[in-house]
């Protein structure tokens, strides 16, 4: 998607994709990543997700990448933290109390800047990207995190019934993007109550990749 699309969504408060609580599939399946206290979890295209606060409460360290500075400012406001803001190459780094968020284009974020991570939680990134961008994104994420295991959340629905984002990402596409290197394993598939955006039936799907 064009940067202007997401900047406009945040500026206008059109953030229906933002969940008011931590994601239920994250809570149920984080254990599949076999993490220990204090390990570092990366959330690509994180917005101001409540998942970050929940992970911090579970005593994990959190890193994220987000295009919208507005989203990151709201994230730290809601966490009740005043972040230190520094420049990190072409991105800005917001950091406070176990959380580091890099503001800018995720494709400008490099492994040396991000540093080591122990796992990835992708709830909002892959499904936010149109099909023609997903291969580039998947390869970049693997390189960026040095192949760290992932808990991936996707949506499955009839794409002709509704335009994304979030986009339909089929099981076949997950295998195509990650099957050669990360051996995706299906964890759970649940119906989206009331349908996606109230427009069409959909399932939310949890995968573990690698590990």
The full set of domains in the chain, from first to last, is 3-209 (3.40.50.150)
| 108 Cβ neighbours under 8 A, 6+ residues apart | 89, 90, 91
* Binding-site entries: 10, 45, 66, 123
Does residue 9 register a pLDDT over 80?
no
Does residue 208 register a pLDDT over 70?
yes
Contact 135/142 with Cβ under 8 angstroms?
Answer: no
pTM of the model: 0.92
Give residue 2's pLDDT: 57
Closest CA to 66 of 148, 117, 10, 143: 10
Tens digit of pLDDT for each residue in 150-186?
999 999 999 999 988 999 999 999 999 999 999 999 9
Kindly list the distances between the CA atom of residue 55 and the CA atoms of 82, 139, 140, in Å, as whole numbers in the listed order: 18, 25, 24
* Binding-site entries for S-adenosyl-L-methionine: 10, 45, 66, 123
Structure tokens at 138: 């998947």
Judged by average pLDDT, the poorest of 11-20, 55-64, 78-87, 126-135 is: 11-20
d(CA 200, CA 126): 20
Give residue 20's pLDDT: 75
Give residue 61's pLDDT: 98
Contact 144/111 with Cβ under 8 angstroms?
Answer: yes
Output the average pLDDT for the chain. 92
Spell out the SS3 assignment of 181-199.
HHCCEEEEEEECCCCECCC
Report the phi/psi class of residue 30: left, alpha or beta, with left for phi > 0 and alpha for psi in -120 to 50. Answer: alpha
Task: Tell me the pLDDT band of 71, cut-offs 50, 70 and 90.
Answer: very high
């Amino acid at each position: 998607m064009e940067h202007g699309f997401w900047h406009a969504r945040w500026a206008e408060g059109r953030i229906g994709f933002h969940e008011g609580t931590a994601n239920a599939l994250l809570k149920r399946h984080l254990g599949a990543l076999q993490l220990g206290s204090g390990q570092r979890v990366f959330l690509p295209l994180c917005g101001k997700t409540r998942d970050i606060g929940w992970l911090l409460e579970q005593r994990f360290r959190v890193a994220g990448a987000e295009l919208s500075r507005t989203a990151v400012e709201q994230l730290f406001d809601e966490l009740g933290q005043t972040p230190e803001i520094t420049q990190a190459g072409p991105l800005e780094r917001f950091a406070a109390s176990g959380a580091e968020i890099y503001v800018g284009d995720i494709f400008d974020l490099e492994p040396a800047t991000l540093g080591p991570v122990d796992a990835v939680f992708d709830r909002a990134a892959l499904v936010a990207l149109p099909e023609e961008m997903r291969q580039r994104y998947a390869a970049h994420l693997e390189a960026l995190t040095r192949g760290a295991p992932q808990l991936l959340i996707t949506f499955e629905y009839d794409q002709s019934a509704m335009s994304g984002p979030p986009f339909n990402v089929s099981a076949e596409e997950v295998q195509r993007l990650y099957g050669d290197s990360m051996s995706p394993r299906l964890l759970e598939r649940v119906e989206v109550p009331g349908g996606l955006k109230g427009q069409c039936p959909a399932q939310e799907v949890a995968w573990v990749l690698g590990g």
